[in-house]
Structure 1
Amino acid sequence: MNTASTAGNKIVLGYIIGGLGSCFFSTKSILIKLALIENVDAITTLTWRMIIALPIFILIGYSGYRYRISKGEDIKLSPKAFLQVGAVGSLGYYVASYLDFAGLNYISAQFDRLIMLTYPIFVVLIGVIFLGRKLNAKLILALSLSYFGLVVIFVRDLQIDGQSTITGALLVLAAALAFAVYQVLAKPHIDRIGARLFTSIAMSAAGVLVIGHFLIANDLSDLILPQKSMMIMFAIATISTVLPAYLISTSIGLVGPEPTAVIGNISTIVTIGLAVSVLGEPFTLWHAIGAAMVLLGVISFTQMDKRAKEAAARKMQTPS
């Protein structure tokens, strides 16, 4: 198998993993809405999420570390590097998560997911402004198509929900920005220490901050929840946190933050389907048109990105 073919397979695998991670992650807003219906507030939900998920992250991270050591890899993780990974993880899974959870108090699950999907715009802009990356006309067109679809749904939902949604929208928009910065900062750390170890350290650091936040703001008795609420907490911790965290980190390692961010748009379809069927949220013709535009934009982007990277691999393989 030549280098170009191997690169192509790696890209396809990265897209599949990123798509799966985004689909699992898209269940989060639905489950949080169900928790809110059960009168469980944002910080309590976030705390239970981390209490359940943290041991899993630590176990998987330790096994990943031992595996890489057994392969003879020299993993250099100084105290400074450890703190850097923890800080990046706290930004993505404490700051962004708390803002997102809080925003869901004010807006629908569909609206929340659509706003969170603006984070690829921030990822791309960060790359262009700070990392010297370039956008070609076709890529801009694909992104524009995808995000114009988001605007169509956004305008319709704003009409349905009213002006009171502005507070929630601003909270979730801030969450999207925080998550975009996290994705950009995560890439070099993932390349150096691997997705499993990175995600374990990052999520563990975020978990410590979340639990500390809860202990300051709440009483321990607030963690005592009915059985139905605990089932929702378990689902949020595993289906919406552990699985997507490792899948998305792996995708970033394979194809980079921008493609991973953009392929995440496809989870719009999953969120809309769950919001309509589980939460009974409205779905109109405008939602259908917008979702179709998002999907077409994502497919166009992934195909162009895949061809560009395969061409680059072939160019490197060709003798000068």
Structure 2
Amino acid sequence: MAPAAPEVPVVLKQDPGSAGGPGNLALGYTFAVLGALTFSSKAIFIKLAYAEGMGVEPLLALRMMLALPVYLAIGALSLHDRRRRGEGLPAAGLLIKAVVVGALGYWVAMYLDFAGLSLIPAQFNVLILMTYPLFVVIFGALIFRFPVQIRAVIAFAVAYIGIGVIFSGRLGSADGKMILGAAFVLAAAVTFALYMLFAKEVIGRMGARLFTCVTMVAVSILAIGQFLIVDPISALSITREAWIYTILLAVVSTIFPTFLINAALQQITAQANSTIGMLAPVASILLAFLVLGEMLSVRDMIGAALVIGGVGWFTLGGRRSL
């Protein structure tokens, strides 16, 4: 997301490729928090765009069309910087690996997430999607043999209890459409967790900025191509409000968090990054209250306090152990 540094934090033992210095960890935590906060606005903008009559494929395509020039420009700058430092282009195998990993995390997971949001409320989407940190820990232990310490288990437990408190009593009756939507989002959580784990080694070799640009350019091509196959061009004729929501989705919920999350992965462990990401559902609740006018109950505030407390204890406790 390593210079000679004090002992790595006992929060989670660093998986290979993590930086260990206190300054790097602080920077990584900052990137992870900002990534979670910007990412949390995604469900709000998507729901607002759907309310304007947009479909899944057109919204995905427009989102990536708007973001693509930024990724191309920053990618070109990254390549220029590599040449200036006397470094060659990344090997073809590494570029292919970046494309495959990026497609897993930002195309497959993104499409499943968008499809799920078209079938279930935003609150349920966030609840299910935020189970991905648990899958990061499970797959990290099973596939990569990463150790998991008790601090992570306690932080997960506290944060998940908080999420459960927030969303308890909101599920109502689950019909077939809701079950299908929930399955889509759960699959998105699994694929994004795998991305978090597989991306770290590639980011360490390529650098966060270039990796982000390579993966997101590939994802943009896939999303635009998918739209051209399944929808007519006329589907891009949308309302002024839908354009506003799509632009906000592209900038605030796509460009910012992709760079921030990948920069965090260069500095801290995938498990730490994903645990801090559990701040996103709390931010989504607050955004729903501020933007959509949804009620913020005492139960919501108690749940938010538990999530923030669990994540805060995880990060700050680890920092003190340096």
TM superposition shift of 1:8: 0.9
Give the alignment's TM-score, normalised by structure 2: 0.90
The 5 Å alignment of 1:1-320 reads: 3-4=5-6, 7-78=21-92, 80-159=93-172, 162-164=173-175, 165-307=178-320, 310=322
The farther-off stretch of 62-71 and 278-287 is 278-287
Q: Work out the CA distance in 1 between the residues paired with 2:124 and 2:290.
A: 15
Contact 1:139 1:304 survives alignment (8 Å): no
More helix by share: 1
Aligned length: 306
C-alpha contact 2:282 2:307 (8 A) present in aligned 1? no
- Equivalent AA in structure 1 for residue 123 of structure 2: Q
1:272-304 per-residue CA deviation (whole Å, 9 max, x = no partner) reads 111122223343333222221111111111134
For 1:100, the aligned partner's letter is D
Mapped partners of 1:202, 1:257: distance in 2: 18
Structure 2 distance, partners of 1:124, 1:191, is 20
Structure 2 unmatched runs, 5+? 8-19
Deviation, 1:7, is 0.9
Distance in 2, Cα, partners of 1:233 & 1:281: 21
Residues 229 and 138 of structure 1, relative CA distance in 2, 3 Å threshold: closer
Q: Distance in 2 between matches of 1:175 and 1:156?
A: 24
Note if contact 1:75-1:193 (Cα within 8 Å) is conserved in structure 2: no
Runs of 4+ in 1 over 6 A off after TM superposition: none
Tell whether the 8 Å contact from 1:259 to 1:305 is kept in structure 2 after alignment: no
2: CA distance between counterparts of 1:304 and 1:128?
A: 22
Aligned residues: percent identity?
Answer: 38
Q: Structure 1 CA distance, aligned partners of 2:22 and 2:37?
A: 23
Contact 2:123 2:167 in 1 (8 A): no
Provide the residue aligned with 1:316 in structure 2. none
Given the two structures, how large is their TM-score scaled by the length of structure 1? Answer: 0.90
Gaps of 5+ in 1: 311-320
User: Once the 2 structures are TM-superposed, how far is the Cα of residue 19 of structure 1 from its aligned partner?
Assistant: 0.7
Q: CA deviation at 1:208?
A: 1.1
* Counterpart-to-counterpart distance in 2, 1:2 and 1:40: 52
SS at match of 1:3: coil
Letter of the 1:128 counterpart: A
- DSSP-derived class of the 1:134 partner: coil
Cα distance in 1 between the residues matched to 2:191 and 2:151: 27
User: How far, CA to CA, are the matches of 1:129 and 1:88 in structure 2?
Assistant: 19
Task: Indicate conservation of the 8 Å contact 1:156/1:287, yes or no.
Answer: no
Name the aligned partner's letter for residue 226 of structure 1: T
Matched letter for residue 43 of structure 2: S
Q: Tell me which amino acid in the other structure corresponds to 2:6.
A: A
Residue type at the aligned position of 1:302: T
Instruction: Kindly state the Cα deviation for residue 74 of structure 1 after the two structures are TM-superposed.
Output: 4.3
Contact residue 162 and residue 304 of structure 2 kept, 8 A: yes
Q: Distance in 2 between matches of 1:70 and 1:156?
A: 58
CA-atom RMSD in angstroms:
1.9
After superposition, the C-alpha distances for 1:294-320 in whole angstroms (9 at most, x for unaligned) are 111111111344355x3xxxxxxxxxx
